[in-house]
Homo-oligomer: A and B are copies of this chain.
């Protein structure tokens, strides 16, 4: 068992790690060389220019020599807090602004609870005096501050029950206020938005096949008949998945070509070579530049053929279409109503933003969708429950006794006091962390297989899966298997009726493990986030080998975006831990508050300076966040009930049973009150916007505005230079935006008359 000293050592290590990361960040971000890694958002906005373009010394272009700036190495923190929220929404989008409010919500919930819990429960627990009289169970100082120290059947449990009520009611209050604010923010954001194609457009899926008509004319006839006054135009969807694949492949070859050309330029005496086999490692050696030029040429032809085939072949048209209406009102009506008596055809939903469309999934028919979802549900079940095995194994290793048993020769090393503390404080958290890094990609792939039609819904869906996984494996898995290994010995030698009681006692005893976890994942993890090691390395590699022009440098810059599907469920774990331990081991709460405060700071900085939004869903994810918080609340209440039950405070059960019932009702109430603001678009709002637009812009040609809004990005690519294509299929749309920004920037560059030098 970890003692208070172990926790202290672990806290010190993690605190120092975090400080080291922050220092590294402070130094790295001041170097002009890294400016595009740490401030890409401002480049995309066109506000910041290559610092190397200024009239400084050559060395100064790469390294910051102004030592005064180093002294203020933490000054990004107040800067991150300075931007007011409306400006933040304008700058980073509503999704990002609302995302960081989740951390703020954590602070709002847990700061009062922490104060109350430390003031009330810690004294009550400390003077309980039960553990001193127990001999069989090992315990630590932390446990003395927890509910484990209260004797069975004691009247002191009423303090904990009152605390459970206080936690629940306070959480209700804060959650309700937050939901209300965010619903309001969303409505205001949507109302203030300018004209956007998705306001007029509905995505129609599962267009039924018609023997006499093409998909296009079938759609047209259907909507002309059933929405005669509102229908404007429609765009069919091509199955351009293969074409997109070719484009992506071509782009990869082009990168290689540029790499070898650069190599050749630097060393003109030697022609670079490559091998034709796997990854250029095996096979015949050939001249690399010729080889890739040839390959690209062939792909270009293939691409042109495929492009022609897709556009001419009627089989390449999938049974889905983007249907646009004359008014927002017409689109709102069509998106919310059922078109046909067969609910599996003519399915309508709001069209996602053009950037947000996930094109690959539009073709999937209804029955296939149902089967895909079944298979993915089963797969998720297996994934969730079979991951238990490796985690249990690693957890058992992370126990000093376990390691000594498996590697007896390590015993003398481990028994050293400092090493022991390090292992116990650090290892379990790290092991879990490595597992978790692998997971989000798998879950996102599973969501894609399920067939959702927009990136935002894919992310929301993945977040739900990841949350389930974390619940079962990180939270329950850590409590139960950890317990199993520790308590096995005493289990074997006590009557079976004692088992549930021992498990109940184990929940407070896992507090030390979770404190370590919060420090590793929460503190050091967030500090690592701000350092952006991976993008930093990638940028410099690209910069060295691929970048020739200023434009290439923009391409090499990867601002990334908030990975909602990964981050949000992790935050939920902290909420869950805070709620579970608020009544059990209050000493854990300050660590939670520390996490929320630090993460709020860091992510506010990141969304201001780094992340670029891939799409804007106007905080459509909030109902999911709210629901998962409710789940956490209910779990905490049930665990607390189980714990008190084992502690023979039996007459408390009905008292606590009221809480989950209230919570379910509260969820239902909030759902009815606010959720529709996130899933539907009220007719009144649509009518107001329509009327306003008619008054302000009576000559608007909506048809030409909407004509090409929903064209698959590879076809838009035809209008631009092919090299600009990114590996994200929808990147071209972003590229168009960038191009225009670049245009204005080039002007400003030209006016400043500065030459571009290579790194």
Contact = CB atoms under 8 A, between A and B. Distances in A.
Interface of A: 187, 222, 225-227, 229, 329, 332-333, 336-341, 343-344, 346, 366, 370, 373-374, 377-378, 381, 495-497, 661, 665, 668-669, 672-677, 680-685, 687
Contact of A377 (B226, B495, B665, B684): B665
Contacts of A227: 683
B226 A339 contact: no
B336 A684 contact: no
Contacts of A229: 229
A226 B341 contact: no
A672 B372 CA distance: 14
A323 to B, nearest CB: 13
Nearest to A329: B226
A674 B343 contact: yes
By secondary structure, the A interface counts as helix
Contact of A682 (B225, B332, B339, B669): B339
A338 B377 CA distance: 32
Given A343-B674, A496-B496, A381 B338 contact: no
Nearest to A190: B341
Given A338-B676, A370-B672, 17 more contacts: A225-B687, A226-B329, A226-B683, A229-B229, A333-B337, A339-B682, A340-B684, A341-B684, A341-B685, A343-B674, A344-B672, A344-B673, A370-B669, A373-B665, A374-B669, A377-B661, A381-B661
A377 B332 CA distance: 35
A340 B686 CA distance: 10
Contacts of A366: 672
A677 B343 contact: yes
Given A343-B676, A672-B344, A337 B683 contact: yes
Nearest to A669: B370
Given A225-B687, A229-B229, A687-B226, A341 B661 contact: no
Contacts of A668: 370
A496 B495 CA distance: 9
B674 A339 contact: no
Given A672-B370, A674-B343, A226 B684 contact: yes
Contacts of A341: 187, 677, 682, 684-685
A463 B605 CA distance: 55
11 contacts: A222-B684, A225-B687, A333-B337, A336-B337, A341-B682, A343-B680, A366-B672, A370-B665, A377-B665, A378-B661, A496-B497
Contacts of A665: 370, 373-374, 377
A733 B683 CA distance: 35
A681 B687 CA distance: 23
Contact of A338 (B340, B374, B683): B683
A344 to B, nearest CB: 6
A673 to B, nearest CB: 6
Given A344-B672, A665-B377, A673-B344, A338 B339 contact: no
A229 B690 CA distance: 15
- List the 9 closest A-B pairs by CB distance, nearest first: A343-B676, A336-B337, A338-B680, A374-B665, A338-B682, A341-B682, A333-B333, A370-B669, A340-B684
Contacts of A332: 337
Given A661-B381, A672-B370, A339 B496 contact: no
A241 B329 CA distance: 38
A662 to B, nearest CB: 8
Nearest to A374: B665
A668 B367 CA distance: 12
A169 to B, nearest CB: 15
A227 B690 CA distance: 13
A370 B676 CA distance: 16
A53 to B, nearest CB: 47
